[in-house]
């Protein structure tokens, strides 16, 4: 894996990939290889560092090593899947079929045993990102408002962009999906099933968890919400200006 460095860095809108591997040499080589092939790349040496990166940056794909000290790649993938449908490619030194099945059950999109051919990793990564793009949520329904305002926040439905004043508020894919549904029906009660989405990890049981996380970003007191309120036994309502 010895690519030639490009004369120009990847553009700002290039897909952003997080590579998580405790092997520094492989981590650096993957970072350079993906950069040379048009990706923006951030790296992390373990799950703790990865969580910190995810908290402050938006990613279009994850490359996760399975066998890491401390929290392993399966645990990290499971945590990511609690709030995001961003594509995950798992790497492992073990070619055990049970490991592959476990990763796919958690919600990983693909699985590549080590050692691997870099071009194969590149193709697999491109494919899972392409599938994610093709499966992106549909645009807001006809007649929905372009922008809604609630408290100090504005939300643009066409862009899935949440702002507090002039500052962009980072939200996960699932939070964006739910906020789009709520904002397209301002002031109406939206049943939980309408917020569950269609992804394999989306269901009514996880809606409450995602709503609580979204409240932590938009409510002064998440325990006593004013903007995103619960309608007991039914679902939720977004109060807009």
Q: What is the pLDDT of residues 121-137, one digit of tens each?
A: 999 999 988 876 655 55
Task: Let me know: does 231 contact 189? Beta carbons within 8 Å.
Answer: yes
Last residue of a domain, one of 99, 134, 169: 134
User: Does the pLDDT of residue 205 top 80, yes or no?
Assistant: no
d(CA 162, CA 190): 19
Report in angstroms the alpha-carbon separations of 103 from 31, 74, 77, 88, 115.
23, 6, 8, 10, 18
pLDDT score for 126: 92
pLDDT of res. 6: 46
Domain that holds residue 93: 16-134
> Is residue 7 scored above 50 in pLDDT?
no
pLDDT tens-digit series, residues 168-204: 887 877 788 889 999 999 999 999 988 886 543 445 6
H or E element in which residue 98 lies:
helix 97-106
- Give the Cβ contact number of residue 108 at 10 Å: 24
Asked if residue 10 belongs to a domain, the reply is no
Q: What is the CATH number of the domain that holds 228?
A: 1.10.10.10
DSSP, collapsed to helix, strand or coil, labels residue 144 as: coil
Mean pLDDT of 206-229: 90
Domain identity same for 52 and 127: yes
Asked which of 112, 134, 156 is the last residue of a domain, the reply is 134
CATH number for position 65: 3.40.50.2300
| Residue recorded with tokens 């809108």 | 13
Is there a single domain that holds both residue 126 and residue 165?
A: no
8: in domain: no
Query: In this structure, are 47 and 87 located in the same domain?
Result: yes
Question: Is 204 contained in some domain?
Answer: yes
Q: Within a domain: residue 4? A: no
Instruction: Provide the terminal-to-terminal Cα distance of the chain, rounded to the nearest Å.
Output: 55
Residue 2 has pLDDT above 50, yes or no: no
Instruction: Enumerate residues 6+ apart whose C-beta is below 8 A from 42.
Output: 16, 17, 18, 19, 53, 57, 59
Structure tokens at 19: 């590579």
The answer to the question of residue 156 being in a domain is: yes
Shared domain check, 78 and 155: no
For residue range 46-57, what is the model confidence (pLDDT) as tens digits?
Answer: 999 999 998 888
Statement to judge: residues 153 and 96 lie in one domain = no
Tokens of 219: 């409510």
Give 3's pLDDT tier (boundaries 50, 70, 90): very low
pLDDT tier at 107 (50, 70, 90 boundaries)? confident
Mean pLDDT of the chain: 85
Q: Judge if the upstream peptide bond of residue 33 is cis by omega within 30 degrees of 0.
A: no
């Amino acid at each position: 894996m010895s690519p030639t460095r490009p004369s120009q860095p990847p553009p700002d809108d290039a897909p952003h990939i997080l590579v998580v591997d405790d092997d520094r040499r492989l981590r650096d080589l993957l970072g350079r290889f993906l950069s040379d092939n048009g990706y923006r790349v951030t790296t992390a040496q373990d799950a703790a560092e990865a969580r910190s990166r995810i908290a402050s940056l938006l990613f279009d794909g994850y490359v996760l090593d399975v066998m890491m000290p401390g929290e392993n790649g399966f645990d990290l993938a499971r945590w990511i899947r609690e709030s995001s449908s961003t594509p995950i490619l798992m790497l492992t030194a073990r070619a055990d079929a049970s490991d592959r099945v476990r990763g796919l059950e958690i919600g990983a999109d693909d699985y590549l045993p080590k050692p691997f051919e870099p071009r194969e990793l590149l193709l697999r990564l491109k494919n899972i990102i392409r599938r994610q793009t093709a499966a992106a949520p549909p645009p807001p329904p006809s007649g929905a408002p372009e922008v809604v305002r609630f408290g100090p926040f504005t939300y643009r439905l066409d862009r899935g962009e949440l702002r507090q004043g002039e500052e962009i508020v980072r939200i996960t894919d699932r939070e964006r999906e739910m906020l789009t549904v709520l904002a397209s029906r301002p002031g109406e009660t939206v049943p939980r099933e309408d917020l569950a989405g269609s992804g394999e990890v989306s269901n009514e049981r996880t809606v409450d968890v995602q709503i609580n996380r979204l409240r932590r970003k938009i409510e002064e007191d998440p325990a006593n919400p004013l903007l995103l309120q619960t309608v007991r036994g039914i679902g939720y309502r977004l109060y807009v200006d």
